[in-house]
Amino acid sequence: MKRGLLITFEGIDGCGKTTQIQELISRFKDQFEYLLVREPGGTPICEQIRQILLDNANNEMFPITELLLYSASRHQLCREAILPALKKGKIVLCDRFYDSTTAYQGYGRGLDLEFIHQLNHWATDGLVPDMTFIFDISLTEREKRMRGKPKDRLEADELAFQQRVCEGFRKIAAKEPQRVHLIDGMQPVEVIAGEVWQTFQTIWREHSHANQ
**Per-residue pLDDT tens over the stretch 97-148:** 999 999 999 999 999 999 999 999 999 999 999 999 999 999 999 999 999 8
Among 150, 145, 200, 207, smallest CA distance to 11 is for: 145
The tens digit of pLDDT for each residue in 42-78 reads: 999 999 999 999 999 999 999 999 999 999 999 999 9
- pLDDT confidence band for 1 (50 / 70 / 90): low
Rounded-to-integer distance, Cα 135 and Cα 50, Å: 22
Domain ranges of the chain: 5-210
- 172 CB-near residues (< 8 Å, 6+ apart): 10, 99, 102, 103, 134, 180
pLDDT of amino acid 211: 73
Question: Average per-residue pLDDT in the chain?
Answer: 95
In this predicted structure, what is the pLDDT of residue 212?
A: 65
b (16+ CB within 10 A) / e for 26-43: eeeeeebebbebbbbbbb
Residues 136, 142, 144: CA angle, nearest 5 degrees: 140
What's residue 15's pLDDT?
97
**Fold held by 5-210:** Rossmann fold (3.40.50)
